[in-house]
Structure 1
Amino acid sequence: MTTAARAGTTARRATVITAAACAAVLGAALPSSAINTYNAAPAPERTEVGSLVVQYDHDEDATTPDRVRWVCSGTMIDGDTFLTAAHCTTDWPENVKFGVSLDQDVQAALDQAAEDHPGDPDTAFATVAVPGTEHNHPGYPGPAADTRDISVVEVPAAAMKARWDFTPATLPTAGQLDDLGAQGLNATDFLVAGYGTQEAQNGPGGHTHPGGGVRMKAPLTYNALNKAWLRLSMTAPQGNGGACYGDSGGPNFARIDGTLTLVGTTITGDTPCKATNVTYRLDTPGARDFLAPFVTLP
């Protein structure tokens, strides 16, 4: 599932990639970040996983936001709260609008909306996504040890319920990954989901990251745990898939005591999207303090 991280620079450091850069990549090569092709599968059953859709000014006339794109992934963590990454919701033009789509194929929905409503980005945006209000971590961007790269988009619960059936993700308890320990983490099944592009492909003109815009999933295995970060292995020989450009903000689940628990969000990884997915932990004091005003924490 090389669909995970969003549009990137030379090192797929999604943490430092601006939303505008992501939008540029999406416009040039289709949505950034998708689950890679190896050991990956469509994820229509992951109804809580969605895409971040933006409407923003592209032609620089500063009057009407004229471009509608999906740029990142994310997860509904209650009826009106969509969890994503702060680098997905910062550095946009002032008139940007954010929305959430839970469509399985958001790219197809965007293409259809553009065809049905040519020259009418307001209607196209409303057709594809439920508009919302973003809230970024006030400490973003923080130091490398904890970049505080976390954001939520609050959306009207009634509007979401009217358009999609979904069950919000289960969040971890405080310090749940620490409590598992290295042995427990090594024995845990992990799953990444998102809308991102595929792993790097060689072709005329160099590497490209095709695909994106369709909700996918792939298995992962444990690599390392730090104060703010959970690193997961995406190496194919071990039966793993992984995340890539456009999967940023998307969920990384762990099956703990039989429950699929949202333990981290995709932030960054390696450039070709084949080795490691670096995810922001959700069981830490910092993440929980940020989320507490928006959701009821376990």
Structure 2
Amino acid sequence: MSKVVVHPGWQWGEGAPKKKVFDAAMLKLDYLVQEPTVPLARDAARRGENVSVFGWGVTEPDSTRSGLPRRLQQLDTRVTAPSRCAGAFLSAAEFCGDNPSGSDGSCYGDSGTPALATIDGVPQLVGTASRSADPGFCGTQPDVFTSDPELRDWIYHVARTGNAT
């Protein structure tokens, strides 16, 4: 990796929920990745929409061992009411993902992982894992995601210029 570009609107929740908060960064790699890409969704995820979340975070947050998975984990969930993430000061540039069983949310190590929605039969990037609605209880609360379609212009600008602004 040769460069990290942090979104200029990142203030770790400062000003939320009234101000949009962008928990996002882009990495410039030293090499070309030979994997297929996932398209960026045009529109933000909406309440009730199904999303699949992927990550390598711990699977047993209360255990004495690390609980890191040996395989990529997937959670199928849905976008839920912003009030479910009220304790996390959800901003207008974020959405709240449900925790379907009360024990299957994201946890330490999942930040930055993708949330995909299938739109017109094609998986598309709608969000990036940011934090649990209650950081002290990861895996048991709804999750907060940065809405990646909100970042479309910034993503393309950084990809073209390598600069945040």
The TM-score with structure 1 as length reference comes to 0.43
Q: Following the alignment from structure 1 to structure 2, what is the Cα–Cα distance between the partners of residues 140 and 189?
A: 27
**One-letter amino acid of the structure 2 residue matched with residue 177 of structure 1:** A
Find the counterpart in structure 1 of residue 93 from structure 2: 228
Counterpart residue type for residue 242 of structure 1: G
- The 3 A distance-change label for structure 1 pair 202 and 241 is closer
Pick closer, same or farther for the CA change 1:275–1:215 going to 2, 3 Å: same
Structure 2 distance, partners of 1:281, 1:268, is 13
CA deviations 1:44-74 (Å, max 9, x no partner) are xxxxxxxxxxxxxxxxxxxxxxxxxxxxxxx
- How much does 1:233 deviate? 0.7
Q: Does 1:289 align with 2:149?
A: no
Name the TM-score, length of structure 2 as normaliser. Answer: 0.74
Q: From the superposition, tell whether residues 272 and 243 of structure 1 become closer, same or farther in structure 2 (CA, over 3 Å).
A: closer
Q: Is the 8 A contact 1:219 1:242 kept in 2?
A: no
Give every structure 1 segment of 4 or more consecutive aligned residues whose post-TM-superposition deviation is greater than 6 Å.
none
Contact in 2 for aligned 1:231/1:276 (Cα 8 Å): yes
Q: Secondary structure at the match of 2:44?
A: helix
**Paired residues for 1:7-46 under 5 Å:** none
Aligned residues: 145
Counterpart code for 2:153: D
Q: Does the Cα contact within 8 Å between 1:220 and 1:242 map onto a contact in 2? A: no
Residue number in structure 2 paired with 1:248: 111
Give yes or no for the alignment of 1:273 onto 2:139.
Answer: yes
The one of the two structures with greater contact order (alpha-carbon pairs below 8 A, sep at least 6) is 1
Instruction: Tell which structure's C-alpha radius of gyration is larger.
Output: 1
Contact in 1 for aligned 2:117/2:126 (Cα 8 Å): yes
Equivalence for 1:177: 44
Pair 1:201 & 2:62 matched: yes
Q: Amino acid of the residue matched to residue 215 of structure 1?
A: L
Alignment of structure 1 residues 76-87 onto 2, 5 Å:
none
Choose the corresponding residue for 2:22, options 130, 148, 151.
Answer: 148
Q: 1:201·1:209 contact (CA, 8 Å) conserved in 2?
A: no
Decide which structure has greater helix share.
1
Alpha-carbon distance in structure 2 between the residues aligned to 1:251 and 1:133? 20
Contact 1:252 1:266 in 2 (8 A): yes
User: Equivalents in 2 of 1:242, 1:257: separation in Å?
Assistant: 26
1:41-120 correspondence runs (5 A): none
For the residue of structure 2 that corresponds to 1:280, the secondary structure is strand
